Amino acid sequence: MSPESFDFLLSKVGPLINKQATRSRQPTPAAERLALTIRYLASADSQQSMSFSYRMGKATVSNIIQETCQGIWDALNADYLRPATSTEEWKNIANE
């Protein structure tokens, strides 16, 4: 993925996956959350392997991936991820 594509995706998804800081912890930045998720989706790495690479707990990695995928869907579904609504649309997609 090019840096420009990453920045574009981050501009769309970032506000949806950004977390508030608390007194006890600083949140994982949106850019790191997105990078972790893209790496997980693009590779054959397990979540456990991702937790070692990013020095995070397995549950944290799992939550980040789930929240970021939901953010990607929420940010992009209307413009880029619209599913086919009729049999004819499905046939056209299958023929492409």
pLDDT tens for 56-91 read 999 999 999 999 999 999 999 888 877 778 888 888
User: Of 31 and 94, which is predicted with more confidence?
Assistant: 31
21-39 pLDDT, tens per residue?
A: 888 888 899 999 999 999 9
In this prediction, residue 8 carries a pLDDT of: 94
Distance CA(9)–CA(53), nearest Å, equals 22
Distance CA(17)–CA(25), nearest Å, equals 16
DSSP string, 4-43: HHHHHHHHHHHHHH-----SS-PPPPHHHHHHHHHHHHHS
- Look up residue 31 and give its two tokens: 């850019």
